[in-house]
């Protein structure tokens, strides 16, 4: 008992939790519920420090809320589908299923070492047919509702391997496997109409005060709602109109050409009669640009044989095909105003197109074209002299009245393409008959399971090759199954809901989901700020509209933890390439002021890079298992929570870990010293000394601060700092009488409960030794005693002839006599009354003592 040996106590405590099912959860209408969820991991094989941080944060919150008396659910599962399993399967010649299950088993063992309070009874993996069955059923519901449709859309295609590539498999435009240039290929794919929910997804962000502003802003930008004008231009050469979308209707009189997307129907029509043009379109298609690249990529265009007629001036405007116009946005056609848009300006300059200025600054100032700021209209006929703001309104009005166009709301958000041409995913529950007609697999035939015993060659999709799997007979009809699988964002979009009733024989049990949802606290990485969180919010609304859940949003509060960084070390080998050496394999030698670093194995001197994200490529990951073995889970957890605020990056420093370990050792030692001479003394409030009062005041102020830091501010690091500071006072507190012992007992009991969410094993153990009868897993969080917190001191300002000469503190019951005595003997006060006669002493109760002396 003398030594703190975490390895011994931690496994015992974990065994106790397992046997007693301490963290299993069920609905209880007498208690307020608290659903705490950390983003479930991809079972990559090994737990890394990012996981440890993520789950420690959610564990601290979950355990804290339990002590606050809530009925807590803290479930865990596995985001088990996806590309890495296929890659590993190709490399190791195993089936993705086998690899995944093995990884799950291993990572689960690792997680258990850290003592997280997960309710393992609710565990599932998304690759379990029992899970994805319900996703397939829901997809069918959406299909029947008309929220799902099939559309041709382009994918990355390797012409050599004749295979579809995921974006991650395209490396600078080349196939990752054979370096063949990747092309775009159009194939039919499934979409879900998230755009039908765009407005709701946008507006409901305002009802999420518990979300970080950055995440809400990112979602807003992603949805990208804009208001503008859809304007029709007649085409000179044919009986047809070209519709453009503009957010700057006030620039209408400055349009000098139109630009259309390379895949715009008019472009394709133009290409039919023009070989060069058709080559240009093919070239554009090959270099499909992402939106981010779009703004920096070189602007290329091709003039078509068509011209448009300006709806107001009647002027002829050339129509160009331009590589920067996206078919998927607006109408795929743009009215170009080179004088007031930099992109149009570059393009017009390059191709020698007219530039017509129609806006000038309100005040006379120096400016150059393109002028993109607000201003006043010029060269704009009847709209002259209006401000840009006024003109935007009057021009939309004018266009609507004259039947030229219509006000239009536009979204950047696109419908969600959920088809992936991959094996390791949820099979899309669809089939086609011999006429190519789509047939949804009936619910009674779900799940459509994946054949798991497959061999991956990396080129063919096992689903496409499997004739037995592919050919089905449904209702007497021979059909061919869809061989695409779902985007893995599908599974992660609703797992939080499935956790409420993981064994339900429907998608979710509505009663249980009504009890548990929304998730009260969601914890995860900022990398999921847009896609996962948006799809998940969308899915929630879909579930709501089908009556499976009641609330409007899935996650009430969101915490995005920062990355974990550590030093990285490398040497340059004889071929001139960097060899990254694991921190485990580094020895440090002092050379007076600084250190030199060497590789333990090779003795090479190493260069230290400074703090960088822990990653495989830099070999600077710290292995959680090593940490637990060396210091114990509680130390790893304490360091993780103490070293930085949860949202900030965490710099992993061995010295910091050692510091956390020392703190726990000292706590352990001190507790046992106290226990050995504590005989159940009770606190007698009526005879407290000043020191006793002071310590109790600090204790209760600490309780108050820690409670607020954890619950409201979520600054776990400052909570820990306050506890540490209090402990420093407790260590110095001299124990003489029984009241002293009672106060140490009170202090330790409170501190141990407050530390329990962070370092549960040591607290569990010490709690038992403190002679407490209830197990710590079920006690209540301490409540700060208002009486004890009251300031028992008063500050008296001492003046001599009206000038402040001292500020002295006294016990709150000190009398005027006592105060005068101390004041007169104060050095600074006595200096000013030296050789003087005291005429008068004016005492303003508990505030000021003024001494008049001449």
Q: How far is the CB of 385 from ligand ANZ (least distance, A)?
A: 19
Burial class (CB in 10 A: 0-12, 13-18, 19+), 679: exposed
| 149 or 371: CB nearest ligand ANZ | 371
DSSP per-residue letters across 620-632: -PPPHHHHHHHH-
Kindly state whether residue 380 participates in binding ligand ANZ, applying the rule CB under 6 A: no
Select from 544, 482, 537, 558 the least CA-distant residue to 194.
537
Q: How far is the CB of 183 from ligand ANZ (least distance, A)?
A: 22
Starting from the edge strand earliest in sequence, which strands make up the sheet with 438-440, in order?
438-440, 430-432, 477-481, 471-474
Name which position in 10, 59, 341, 567 contacts ligand ANZ (CB under 6 A): 341
Taking the complex as a whole, how short is the minimal distance between the CB of residue 411 and ligand ANZ, in angstroms? 9
**3-state SS assignment for residue 69:** coil
- Residue 713 is classified by DSSP as I
d(CA 164, CA 157): 5
Q: How far is the CB of 709 from ligand ANZ (least distance, A)?
A: 42
* Structure-token pair, residue 556: 């009430």
Contact pick of 329, 351, 810, 832 for ligand ANZ (by CB under 6 A): 329
Contact range with ligand ANZ by CB under 6 A, out of 240-248, 590-598, 802-810, 816-824 = 240-248
Tell which one of 325, 636, 710, 796 touches ligand ANZ (CB under 6 A).
325
**CA-to-CA dists, residue 674 to 716, 733, 737, 803, angstroms:** 27, 12, 13, 49
Q: Compute the least distance from the CB of residue 251 to ligand ANZ, in Å.
A: 4
Residue 298: CB minimum distance to ligand ANZ, A: 15
Q: How far apart are CA 355 and CA 340, in angstroms?
A: 9
- Side-chain half-sphere of 569: how many Cα atoms within 13 Å? 19
Q: 403-432: which residues touch ligand ANZ (CB under 6 A)? A: 410
- Rule CB under 6 A: choose which of 251, 501, 640, 671 binds ligand ANZ: 251
Pairwise CA distance, residues 481 & 497, whole Å: 28
Indicate whether 337 belongs to the interface with ligand ANZ (CB under 6 A). yes
- Interface segment toward ligand ANZ; rule CB under 6 A; list 323-331, 497-505, 585-593, 776-784: 323-331
Residue 616 assigned to a binding site? yes
Q: Contacting ligand ANZ (CB under 6 A), which of 15, 26, 214, 247?
A: 247
Q: How far apart are CA 538 and CA 552, in angstroms?
A: 10
Q: Which of 170, 326, 480, 852 binds ligand ANZ (CB under 6 A)?
A: 326
Comparison of 226 and 684: residue with beta carbon closer to ligand ANZ:
226
Among 36, 192, 317, 334, binds ligand ANZ (CB under 6 A): 334
Build a one-symbol-per-residue string for 199-238: x at contacts with ligand ANZ by CB under 6 A, - elsewhere: ---------------------------x------------
Q: Considering only the stretches 129-137, 327-335, 575-583, 662-670, report the one whose residues sit in contact with ligand ANZ under the rule CB under 6 A.
A: 327-335
Closer CB to ligand ANZ, 111 or 339, in the complex: 339
Q: To the nearest whole angstrom, how small is the minimum distance from the Cβ of residue 260 to ligand ANZ? A: 9
Assigned token pair, 739? 């009241």
Please identify, using beta-carbon distances, which residue of 194 and 581 lies nearer to ligand ANZ. 194
Q: Which of residues 275-314 bind ligand ANZ (CB under 6 A)?
A: none
Q: Residue 441 CB: number of other CB atoms within 10 A?
A: 23
CA gap 44, 621 in Å, rounded: 14
Whether a cis peptide bond, with omega within 30° of 0, leads into 273 is no
First and final CA of the chain: distance in angstroms? Answer: 68
Residue 721: enclosing H or E segment and its boundaries? helix 716-732
Whether the ω angle into residue 221 lies within 30 degrees of 0, i.e. cis, is: no
Considering the rule CB under 6 A, would residue 378 count as an interface residue with ligand ANZ? no
**Alpha-carbon span 512 to 722, nearest angstrom:** 39
640 binds ligand ANZ (CB under 6 A): no
Q: How many other C-beta atoms can be found within 10 angstroms of the C-beta atom of residue 365?
A: 8
The β-bridge relationship of strands 333-336 and 316-322 is unpaired
Residue 781 in tokens: 């969080």
Scanning 62-70, 207-215, 322-330, 401-409 for contacts with ligand ANZ by CB under 6 A, the matching segment is: 322-330
Q: Is 151 left (phi over 0), alpha (psi -120 to 50) or beta?
A: beta
Question: Per CB under 6 A, does 267 bind ligand ANZ?
Answer: no
- Of 122, 248, 498, 697, the residue at the interface with ligand ANZ (CB under 6 A) is 248
Is 258 a binding residue for ligand ANZ by CB under 6 A? The answer is: no
Stretch of 94-102, 280-288, 325-333, 573-581 lying at the interface with ligand ANZ (CB under 6 A)? 325-333
Residue 367 or 731 having the CB closest to ligand ANZ: 367
Is 241 within 8 Å of 232 (Cβ atoms)?
yes
Annotated binding site for ATP: 616
As annotated, the binding site includes 616
Binding stretches for ligand ANZ (CB under 6 A): 226, 245-248, 251, 325-326, 329-330, 332, 334-335, 337, 340-341, 410
């Amino acid at each position: 008992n003398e030594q703190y040996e975490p390895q011994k106590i931690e496994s015992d405590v974990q065994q106790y939790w397992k046997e007693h099912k301490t963290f299993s959860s069920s609905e209880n209408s007498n208690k307020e519920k608290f659903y705490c969820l950390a983003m479930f991991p991809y079972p990559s094989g090994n737990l890394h420090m990012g996981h440890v941080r993520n789950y420690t944060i959610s564990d601290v919150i979950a355990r804290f809320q339990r002590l606050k008396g809530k009925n807590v659910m803290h479930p865990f599962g596995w985001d088990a589908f996806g590309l890495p399993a296929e890659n590993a399967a190709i490399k190791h010649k195993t089936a993705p299923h086998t690899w995944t299950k093995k990884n799950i088993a291993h990572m689960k063992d690792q997680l258990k070492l850290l003592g997280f309070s997960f309710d393992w009874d609710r565990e599932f993996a998304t690759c379990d047919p029992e899970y994805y069955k319900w996703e397939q059923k829901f997809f069918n519901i959406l299909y029947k509702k008309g929220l799902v449709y099939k559309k041709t859309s382009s994918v990355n295609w390797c012409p050599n391997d004749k295979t579809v590539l995921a974006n991650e498999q395209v490396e600078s435009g080349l196939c990752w496997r054979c370096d063949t240039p990747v092309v775009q290929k159009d194939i039919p794919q499934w979409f879900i109409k998230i755009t039908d929910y765009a407005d709701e997804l946008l507006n409901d962000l305002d009802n999420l005060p518990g979300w970080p502003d950055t995440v809400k802003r990112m979602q807003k930008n992603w949805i990208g709602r804009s208001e503008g004008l859809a304007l029709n231009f007649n085409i000179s050469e044919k009986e047809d109109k070209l519709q453009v979308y503009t957010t700057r209707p006030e620039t209408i009189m400055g349009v000098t050409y139109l630009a259309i997307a390379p895949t715009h129907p008019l472009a394709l029509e133009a290409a039919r009669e023009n070989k060069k043009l058709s080559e240009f379109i093919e070239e554009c298609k090959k270099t499909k640009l992402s939106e981010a690249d779009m703004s920096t990529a070189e602007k290329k265009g091709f003039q078509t044989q068509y011209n448009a007629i300006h709806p107001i001036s009647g002027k002829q405007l050339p129509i160009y095909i331009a590589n920067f116009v996206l078919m998927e946005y607006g109408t795929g056609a743009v009215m170009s105003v080179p004088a007031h848009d930099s992109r149009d300006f570059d393009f017009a300059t390059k191709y020698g197109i007219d530039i017509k200025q129609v806006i000038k600054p309100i005040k006379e100032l120096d400016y150059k074209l393109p002028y993109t700021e607000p201003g006043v209209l010029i060269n704009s006929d009847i709209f002259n002299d209006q401000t840009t703001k006024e003109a935007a309104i009057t021009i939309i009005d004018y266009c609507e009245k004259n039947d030229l166009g219509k006000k239009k709301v536009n979204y950047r958000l696109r419908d969600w393409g959920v088809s992936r041409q991959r094996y390791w995913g949820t099979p899309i529950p669809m089939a086609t008959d011999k006429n190519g007609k789509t047939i949804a697999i009936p619910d009674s035939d779900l799940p459509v399971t994946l054949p798991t015993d497959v061999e991956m060659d990396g080129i063919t999709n096992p689903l496409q090759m499997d004739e037995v799997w592919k050919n089905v007979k449904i209702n007497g009809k021979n059909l061919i199954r869809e061989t695409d699988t779902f985007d893995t964002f599908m599974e992660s979009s609703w797992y939080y809901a499935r956790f409420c009733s993981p064994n339900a024989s429907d998608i979710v049990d509505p009663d249980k989901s009504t009890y548990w949802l929304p998730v009260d606290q969601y914890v995860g990485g900022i990398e999921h700020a847009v896609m996962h969180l948006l799809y998940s919010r969308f899915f929630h609304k879909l579930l709501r509209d089908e009556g499976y859940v009641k609330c409007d949003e899935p996650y009430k509060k969101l915490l995005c933890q920062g990355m974990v960084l550590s030093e990285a070390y490398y040497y340059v080998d004889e071929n001139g390439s960097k060899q990254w050496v694991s921190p485990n394999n580094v020895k440090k030698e002092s050379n007076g002021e600084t250190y030199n670093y060497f590789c333990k194995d090779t003795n090479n001197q190493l260069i230290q890079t400074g703090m960088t994200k822990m990653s495989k490529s830099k070999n600077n990951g710290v292995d959680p298992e090593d940490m637990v073995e060396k210091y114990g889970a509680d130390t790893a957890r304490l360091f993780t929570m103490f070293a930085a605020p949860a949202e900030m990056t965490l710099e992993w420093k061995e010295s910091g870990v050692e510091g956390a370990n020392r703190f726990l050792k000292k706590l352990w030692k001190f507790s046992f010293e106290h226990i050995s001479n504590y005989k159940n003394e009770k606190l007698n409030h009526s005879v407290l000394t000043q020191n006793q009062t002071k310590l109790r005041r600090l204790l209760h102020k600490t309780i108050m601060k820690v409670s607020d830091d954890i619950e409201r501010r979520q600054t776990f690091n400052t909570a820990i700092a306050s506890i540490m500071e209090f402990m420093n006072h407790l260590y110095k507190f001299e124990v003489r009488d029984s009241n002293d012992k009672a106060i140490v007992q009170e202090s330790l009991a409170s501190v141990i409960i407050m530390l329990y969410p962070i370092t549960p094993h040591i607290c569990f153990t010490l709690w038992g030794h403190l002679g407490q009868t209830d197990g710590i897993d079920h006690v209540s969080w301490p409540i700060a005693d208002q009486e004890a917190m009251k300031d028992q001191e008063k500050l008296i300002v001492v003046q001599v002839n009206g000038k402040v000469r001292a500020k002295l503190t006294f016990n709150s019951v000190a009398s005027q006599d006592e105060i005068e005595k101390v004041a007169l003997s104060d050095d600074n006060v006595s200096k000013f009354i030296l050789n003087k006669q005291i005429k008068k002493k004016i005492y303003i109760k508990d505030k000021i003592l003024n001494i008049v002396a001449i």
